[in-house]
Structure 1
Amino acid sequence: MATLEIVFLLIVYVGKSLQGRIVPSPPSITAGPKPYPMRSWNPELGDRVYVYLPKEKNTRLQCVASGNTPKLSYDWIKDGKLIDFNSTEVTYKNNTLRIYKEHGLGTLNIHHVQESDYGIYQCRAGSASSQALSLSKKVELIEAHISSFQNNNDRPPKVVLLGQYVLLTCDPPYSNPKAILKWTTDDTLKEMTLNDRIVMDYEGNLHFTNIAKEDGGKMYSCFASLSFIGFYSKGPFTSLSVKGDKPANQPAKIQWRSAKDVIGVKGEPVRFMCIFSGHPVPKILWHKEGRPSTTLSEGHEFVINSVQFNDKGIYICAGRNPVTDKPQNVTFTLNVQAKPSWKIPPVDTRVSVGDSASINCEAEGIPSPNVEWFIDGKPFKEIPGKRQLQGDILQVTSLTKKESMVVQCNATNSHGSLFSDVYINVLGRNF
């Protein structure tokens, strides 16, 4: 029994000892705002996320921090100014809150979004015991909107000969973000089926490589959609009247092509398109210059799903049918660049009073990234003998207990950005 009492007392003593030695740490935001909608064109990358929302909808911008620090607190900045949660701007006329932080968290709720709510937001987490501030990524709240087609009157009927090439233009309306374009042949907005003979280009225009009997007697309309918010806009109808009994043979001829010079971003998809007219329907083959015997793909479009540096080169789209003397070639030049990436990801650092510390924000990319520094949310200004930059490494010397800080660095090039929010925690010698 005595032995058990001794063990119990030891556990109590060790527990209290450890409790008194919990290492304090500056705040660190662990969950920030998420993009909306979550789509491949709206990824959670870099120093900023984008939220597209129409007026009168609600949104929730997440912000949660961790840190062994007393009285953890949160603020939000909008367009460079601190949000005053006691002002009339955040309340309805009956004084109930329209914009508020969730209890115990920094997560921001905005109800019935108004014109004045759109802008750039950023969450800050701090504490009463330290000047250290952790920052979330910036989140840009953008109005989701799609306009009507400029001219919605039905177009004059097109009379076309069997076997001929026909183009129907879309002329899409303004939208933000960019709307998805499709074609329909009825009022239900059911998407029409495309194939090797009927192709839509990257601008939304519809190409009939040669007209068939079954294409006549229909009403064709382009429509634009932002399906994630249920917004649609339909364009004017165009009817086709097909004349003739027997289609005349037509050689393969290029009618539309995507950009000749293409810059791909490493790891992302790259698309090329060439559209040929002709009867019979031209067969289209793709190959890379220097490897003519290797067919990469068939059809109007060629896609590299995850482009790499060794994909750089010249690509050839060749169209031909039985009445074409030789293949009609279209060339594309592909160069590959890269978003910023960390050579070594920045990490939180703990040091003792009097020690020095460094934060490494070395990034690589093509073009070479530019690195910006912030300390506790304020733009970095080099202090001789105390803080200095050596390349993309921040060094701070002779740290005192009051100099715990949160360091932000942002690496940016023309393809994207990286954001890091890490702390230097200065501990007493007894830790």
Structure 2
Amino acid sequence: MYLLSVDVFARVLFSCIDFFWSDFISLPAAVRQPPTITKQSMKDHVVDPKETMVIECEAKGNPHPIFSWRRNGKYFNVARDSQASMRRRSGTLDIYARTNPEQYEAEYQCIASNEYGSAYSNKIRLQLYRPPVWPREVLEPVVISAGLPLVLSCDPPPGPLRPETYWMSSSFPTMRAVRQDRRVSMGVNGDLYFSNVLFNDSVADFCCNARFPFKNVIQQKMPVVVKVLPSEYESKCLPLIRSHTVAEAAPTWLSPTGSSSSTLVLLGEELLLECIAAGVPTPHITWTKDGEALVVTPRMKIKNFNKLIQIQKASFEDTGDYTCTATNRISYIEHTITVRVKAAPFWLEKPDNLILAPEESGRLVCRSDGAPRPTVSWFINGEPIETATPMPNRQVSGDMITFRSVTTENNAVYQCNASNEFGYLLANAFVNVLHATPRILWPRNEFVKVVEGSRTFLDCRYFGSPVPELRCCNHWRVGELMTL
């Protein structure tokens, strides 16, 4: 055992002070405080109506919060609904929809309240999972001349989550994945595109498969038979020569059509740009951006034989005009896709809980950005601040509320809502005006082992209102801190 040197003590002391000041706002559970939402379901919440439908809402506070719910903006009386219940000391909803589950497909919002204020969850849109089923139909064979383009539609059943699609070909008794190349490829919409069909395309049936992520269910569409006939060129010009030669054709667009289109993507979401062309020989696809050669960045992938640009997380720098060119030895065509990048609101600075002693001052800040720029609205305990009782010591200025010389009348939970046409953010922050004597929240006389010469943190959590002044003193004796 060793007595700490002055150098070691300094590292312990200053590390200790840095840690203390970063954590002083922590509020002990025993101190009276407004509610804080601690857990809630996602804004878009998909459930299976055959199982218990759970909408989560947990909160803390002192006194412990009382919970209530709104459904489609109106009070939802859970106690009078025989198929719904709230868990004990919780706002989490359990819905046992034995009959008419469709009535619960709605927008829900949880409210946690005590005598010091009310905190609100996000608006949770509950969607019912419906098993995807393709119609059991017999598809007529597709009869087509060699050399012509062909599109086989997939069109999977609708659902709340986009399925993953893939194509299989079968020639009894085997089934295998459709081999994709420059001539044959699956589009982002799930359809199967043939830039030109060949005779060997008629050796198998084609069927689209879709894997639905919610239940990991795979559904198969009824197969379609493709019959490829000799081309008109071969039938008229080469009736005695079975060379499978087809007439050359200039490129034309299969997807997208026309000479231009536009797409809008949200910041951080996946951007997919696709160009698929028909023609004989099979056209080759190249890309430019804003009139210059496309610079492939680490965020970008060129896939599907140059037909697809994939950017997993779009940024504002991806805005521009992307031109795809389809070329074969006959001719070429161009299509320009104008990309616009917008953004749902995102946080720059969320409002933090404000713990003040009487007569102190403080502020709540709610800073966000987006494209277009979000509109900021303030609420007190869920009600618009404009309709609340005016308080001379409270001033609202855009994304900031300033409090001066506070009293317990200022106790409340404030909600900040930042919205634009692509979404919203909701944050709760309480103002808690109280006078509390300083207290140490960590165990006393704790034995700490340290490595000589290393940086050491002493966890000294504390609380008080007003914020106490902290001082660390060297009262250690031999054996109270040990170096190893």
Normalised TM-score (structure 1): 0.78
User: Hey, what does 2:37 align to over in structure 1?
Assistant: 29
User: How many residues are aligned here?
Assistant: 385
Percent identical across equivalent pairs?
26
1:401–1:426 Cα contact (<8 Å) kept: yes
User: Hey, what does 2:71 align to over in structure 1?
Assistant: 78
SS at match of 2:349: coil
User: Hey, what does 2:223 align to over in structure 1?
Assistant: 237
Aligned amino acid, residue 106 of structure 1: G
Matches within 5 A, 1:153-192: 153-185=137-169, 192=178
Matches within 5 A, 1:138-149: 138-145=123-130, 148-149=133-134
2:141–2:225 Cα contact (<8 Å) kept: yes
Matches within 5 A, 1:82-161: 82-87=75-80, 89-91=81-83, 99-112=84-97, 114-127=101-114, 130-145=115-130, 148-149=133-134, 152-161=136-145
- The Cα of 1:377 is off from its aligned counterpart by 1.9
- The Cα of 1:85 is off from its aligned counterpart by 4.2
Question: In structure 2, do the counterparts of structure 1 residues 160 and 403 end up closer, same or farther at CA, with 3 Å as the change threshold?
Answer: same
User: Hey, what does 1:16 align to over in structure 2?
Assistant: none
1:146–1:174 Cα contact (<8 Å) kept: no
- The Cα of 1:274 is off from its aligned counterpart by 0.8
- The Cα of 1:359 is off from its aligned counterpart by 1.5
SS at match of 1:389: strand
Aligned amino acid, residue 335 of structure 2: V
Aligned amino acid, residue 89 of structure 2: G
Q: Deviations over 1:245-288 (max 9, x none)?
A: 42323333222217711223222221111111123322212221
- The Cα of 1:358 is off from its aligned counterpart by 2.4
Q: Find the partner of 1:55 among 44, 49, 55.
A: 49
Greater mean alpha carbon deviation, residues 180-189 or residues 400-409: 180-189
Matches within 5 A, 1:181-330: 181-185=165-169, 192-229=178-215, 234-244=220-230, 245-248=243-246, 249-257=248-256, 260-292=261-293, 294=295, 297=302, 299-321=306-328, 323-325=329-331, 327-330=332-335
- Give distance in 2, aligned partners of 1:424 and 1:193: 63
- Give distance in 1, aligned partners of 2:113 and 2:176: 52
1:357–1:424 Cα contact (<8 Å) kept: no
Q: Find the partner of 2:368 among 363, 373, 376.
A: 363
Aligned amino acid, residue 207 of structure 1: Y
Instruction: Report 1 or 2 for greater relative contact order, CA contacts < 8 Å, sequence distance ≥ 6.
Output: 2
- The Cα of 1:22 is off from its aligned counterpart by 5.5
Q: Output the aligned Cα RMSD.
A: 3.2
- Give distance in 1, aligned partners of 2:95 and 2:29: 40
Unpaired segments ≥5 residues, structure 2:
1-26, 231-242, 438-464, 466-484
User: Hey, what does 2:435 align to over in structure 1?
Assistant: 428
Question: In structure 2, do the counterparts of structure 1 residues 118 and 189 end up closer, same or farther at CA, with 3 Å as the change threshold?
Answer: farther
User: Hey, what does 1:5 align to over in structure 2?
Assistant: none
1:183–1:223 Cα contact (<8 Å) kept: yes
1:252–1:320 Cα contact (<8 Å) kept: yes
SS at match of 2:275: strand
Matches within 5 A, 1:309-388: 309-321=316-328, 323-325=329-331, 327-381=332-386, 383-386=389-392, 387-388=394-395
1:266–1:307 Cα contact (<8 Å) kept: yes
- The Cα of 1:211 is off from its aligned counterpart by 1.5
- The Cα of 1:131 is off from its aligned counterpart by 3.7
- Give distance in 1, aligned partners of 2:366 and 2:212: 38
SS at match of 2:32: coil
Q: Which protein has the larger Cα radius of gyration, Structure 1 or Structure 2?
A: 2
- The Cα of 1:311 is off from its aligned counterpart by 2.3
User: Hey, what does 1:9 align to over in structure 2?
Assistant: none
Normalised TM-score (structure 2): 0.70
Aligned amino acid, residue 157 of structure 1: P
User: Hey, what does 2:20 align to over in structure 1?
Assistant: none
1:373–1:409 Cα contact (<8 Å) kept: yes
Q: Deviations over 1:383-415 (max 9, x none)?
A: 444344212212344532243111111111122
Q: Deviations over 1:172-217 (max 9, x none)?
A: 5444445554444459998645443222334433211121333213
Aligned amino acid, residue 53 of structure 2: T
